[in-house]
Amino acid sequence: MTNTMVNAKTLNLGGDLSVRRIGLGTMRLADGPGRPADPTAAPVWTPPADRDAALALLREAVELGVQLIDTADAYALGGGEELVGEALHPYREDVVVATKVRVARPSAGEWVPLGHPAYLRQQAELSLRRLRTDRIDLLQLHRVDPTVPLEDQIGALKQLQDEGKVRHIGLSEVTVEQLEAARAVAPIAAVQNLYNLAARDHDLVVDYAERHGITFLPFFPVAMGAHAAPGGAVAEVAAELGATPAQTALAWLLRRSPALLPIPGTTSAAHVAENLAALDLALTADQTTRLNTLAA
Ligand SMILES: NC(=O)c1ccc[n+]([C@@H]2O[C@H](COP(=O)([O-])OP(=O)(O)OC[C@H]3O[C@@H](n4cnc5c(N)ncnc54)[C@H](OP(=O)(O)O)[C@@H]3O)[C@@H](O)[C@H]2O)c1
């Protein structure tokens, strides 16, 4: 028996936004040739050297069927959001834009926690302008600032929601305890944590999100490209499926939980199409088990 399971292709973010379960992470649409392999280390500091190519990629991604675009105020110091606004405004009805606030970038090498409520609200105002919208679909707290009470940070996002400037609130890199504490202050629609088939530290958060109708946006879903590479266990299963390793890694995530909506980052429209096609891929239970061993 193969026990193949077809994954749901959409989910309801926040209960009211139907989105296809493969999105696009846009952090890598920054800087130029020679960008670092780990873009979170540094810099993600300047807008893309080839702006027209980045704009074209965003537009093509939406044409291909991507419905959730993830960005942040910290990417290219606001340049990432400007790019999304320029490429996609006026927004299609079915496009959901997620952004993040809380990380200050005083220099190319620094990602500094800054969770003061006034700063969060100011950054959200700037995000609204750069994204050319009057309401952000999903505003995520990029990290919890340990020096500011969590309720004050979530409170700032809640205030923006009450003012009609934010539709849904999300968190990033949080534990179940932080998620629960945040939910006592405001409804939390999404959580964005580092998660892929070999990085399973947040298994409990995935399970919690699924139980509570919270969307989980795994970042680094293809391990910054490692799971897209030829060779290794992912490629072995991919060959059996007649799929690519990247698609196989994404299909594992889609099967892991119906709450998951991976946001692979790419600068290539062909890879966007390839990643979306992972929605049609069905892993067998045996293949899933073999991929599970990569986490060990
Ligand atoms: N919340 C946070 O703190 C946080 C932190 C980091 C990232 N993020 C979000 O997560 C998103 C994803 O992270 P990421 O882009 O760093 O890592 P990733 O999605 O795991 O990997 C991206 C890398 O994989 C390659 N790739 C993607 N699809 C491929 C395919 N089909 N075939 C071959 N290679 C493929 C890309 O190269 P090509 O360009 O050649 O396709 C790129 O080098 C970011 O864009 C950002 O939105 C959030």
In a mutational test of the pocket of ligand 1, which residue from 144, 219, 272 has the highest number of ligand atoms less than 8 Å from its CB? 219
Report whether 227 contacts 249 (CB < 8 A).
yes
Q: Give the nearest ligand 1 atom to 38 CA.
A: 16
Helix (H) or strand (E) holding 276: helix 269-276
Alpha-carbon torsion, ordered 243, 246, 251, 253, to 10 deg: 170
- Count how many Cα atoms sit within 13 Å of the Cα of residue 254 in the half-sphere of its side chain: 30
Q: Tell me, which fold does domain 10-220+258-266 have in CATH?
A: TIM Barrel (3.20.20)
Q: Which residues line ligand 1 (CB under 6 A)?
A: 25-28, 39-40, 70, 142, 172-173, 192, 219-225, 228, 246, 263-268, 271, 274-275
pLDDT tens track for 239-284: 999 999 999 999 999 999 999 999 999 999 999 999 999 999 999 9
Report whether 172 contacts 214 (CB < 8 A).
no
pLDDT tens track for 140-163: 999 999 999 999 999 999 999 999
Task: Determine the angle formed by the axes of helices 285-292 and 232-241, rounding to 10 degrees.
Answer: 170
Token code pair at residue 189: 């629609």
126 C-alpha vs ligand 1 centroid, how far in Å?
25
- Please list the pLDDT of the chain residue by residue as tens digits (296 residues): 445 667 899 999 999 999 999 999 999 999 988 888 888 787 999 999 999 999 999 999 999 999 999 999 999 999 999 999 999 999 999 999 999 999 999 999 999 999 999 999 999 999 999 999 999 999 999 999 999 999 999 999 999 999 999 999 999 999 999 999 999 999 999 999 999 999 999 999 999 999 999 999 999 999 999 999 998 789 999 999 999 999 999 999 999 999 999 999 999 999 999 999 999 999 999 999 999 987 65
**Residue 116 CB partners (closer than 8 Å, separation 6+):** 145, 148
* pTM to 2 decimal places: 0.97
- Whether the link from the prior residue into 43 is cis, omega within 30° of 0, is yes
**Alpha carbons 224 and 205: distance in angstroms, whole number:** 21
Task: Determine the angle formed by the axes of helices 176-183 and 203-211, rounding to 10 degrees.
Answer: 30
